[in-house]
């Protein structure tokens, strides 16, 4: 049986996959976060509680100065009792826009025009044009600072915004990673636990592609079933809408599964889900895969797959390329 690989995807647009070389990070790192709405604030709590082994300090920046003042006080008041008994939690400090790229890890959580509860359909792409302009401004600051650290894009739509930051920042492709796929895998696990015929996803499955409509959930990478996989994918894609239908914005699981936990795994050099660049300079897209940060850069899982699964990846990848 003929097999296909993630690394074959750039060839579908006539490009060659480039090595994602990066000098790596020396932990503990200085982390700076831009924008502290629901997602940024929840992510900040996760990083403070769980990141003491790899984070030295966390700087926070938001257009709302009162919000920054409040979070500087509140988050630093989250702590274990009895000094010296437990490992310290990374301190949080307020920073200005001019300090944003004086760090090792920059996390972009800013967003314009987040659709309110009640809007139907995939709301992520509605944010693309507004957020492109926003990300262009901060990418320009990264260029001016000759920034050499890691850029983590959390705002929607993650994958096109990674490409927009790349085009405007002067950063290398390996410096930028998108964090949206972690929660899609988590949602797939949630539904797989509730359907007997999908439970094998927990040990055999994978998530690929964008944090949105072209998401690819594979029930198994060794015994792929297209009908089960597409049904599970539909459950996951609609999970965002299902939560909105309860009258709430779905930000807790994304902030923790896609952002906080996945960023910490990145810093520890462990496998996680994130969007990495596939293609040649100026010809490619950021695409969600299982990956980790090695000594010389990003290594993504490149396991063999069947034609029917690979065809779904091709559709997602070429659609992402068309958004640049």
The mean pLDDT value for 85-101 works out to 97
| Cα separation values, 196 from 50, 176, 218, 297, 311, Å | 33, 38, 16, 39, 26
Tell me the residue range of the domain where 178 lies. 6-182+247-321
Asked if residue 242 is part of any domain, the answer here is no
The mean pLDDT value for 141-154 works out to 98
Pairing mode, strands 272-280 and 283-294: antiparallel
Residues 6+ apart with CB under 8 A from 215: 184, 207, 208, 209, 233, 236, 237, 316
Asked if residue 265 is part of any domain, the answer here is yes
Asked if residue 217 is part of any domain, the answer here is no
> Which range has the worst mean pLDDT, 15-19, 117-121, 124-128, 264-268?
117-121
Give the total number of structural domains in the chain: 1
Query: CATH code at 119?
Result: 3.40.50.720
Closest CA to 157 of 183, 186, 180, 188: 180
Model pLDDT, residue 212: 82
Asked if residue 191 is part of any domain, the answer here is no
The mean pLDDT value for 117-132 works out to 63
Model pLDDT, residue 250: 95
The mean pLDDT value for 51-56 works out to 98
Asked if residue 202 is part of any domain, the answer here is no
pLDDT, averaged across the chain: 94
Residue 116: pLDDT over 80: no
pTM: 0.95
Asked if residue 14 is part of any domain, the answer here is yes
Asked if residue 207 is part of any domain, the answer here is no
Residue 252: pLDDT over 80: yes
Q: CA-based angle 283:140:299, to the nearest 5? A: 45
Asked if residue 224 is part of any domain, the answer here is no
How many whole angstroms separate alpha carbon 221 and alpha carbon 201? 9
Contact by Cβ (8 Å): 211, 161:
no
């Amino acid at each position: 049986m003929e097999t296909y690989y993630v690394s074959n995807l750039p060839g579908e647009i006539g490009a060659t996959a480039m090595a994602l070389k990066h000098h790596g990070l020396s932990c503990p790192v200085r982390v700076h976060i831009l924008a502290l709405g629901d997602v940024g604030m929840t992510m900040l709590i996760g990083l403070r509680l769980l990141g003491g082994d790899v984070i030295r300090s966390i700087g926070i920046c938001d257009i709302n100065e009162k919000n920054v003042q409040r979070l500087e006080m509140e988050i630093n008041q989250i702590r274990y009792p009895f000094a010296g008994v437990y490992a310290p939690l990374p301190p949080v400090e307020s920073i200005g826009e001019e300090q944003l790229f004086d760090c090792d890890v920059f996390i972009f959580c800013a967003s314009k025009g987040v659709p309110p509860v009640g809007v139907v359909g995939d709301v992520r792409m509605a944010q693309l044009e507004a957020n492109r302009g926003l990300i262009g401004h901060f990418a320009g600051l990264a260029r001016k600072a000759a920034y050499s650290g890691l850029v983590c894009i959390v705002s929607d739509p993650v994958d096109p915004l990674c490409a927009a930051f790349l085009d405007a920042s002067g950063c290398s492709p390996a410096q930028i990673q998108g964090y949206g796929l972690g929660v899609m895998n988590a949602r797939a696990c949630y539904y797989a636990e509730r359907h007997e015929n999908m439970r094998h996803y927990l040990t055999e499955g994978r998530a690929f592609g964008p944090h949105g409509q072209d998401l690819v959930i594979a029930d198994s990478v060794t015994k792929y079933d297209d009908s089960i996989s597409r049904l599970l994918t539909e459950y996951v894609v609609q999970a965002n809408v299902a939560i909105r239908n309860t009258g709430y914005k779905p930000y807790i699981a994304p902030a923790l599964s896609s952002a906080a936990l996945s960023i910490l795994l990145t810093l520890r050099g462990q496998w996680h889900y994130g969007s990495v660049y596939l293609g040649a300079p100026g010809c490619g897209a950021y695409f969600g895969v299982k990956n980790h940060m090695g000594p010389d850069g990003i290594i993504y899982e490149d396991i063999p797959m069947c034609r029917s699964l690979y065809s779904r990846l091709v559709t997602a990848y070429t659609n992402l390329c068309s958004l640049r």
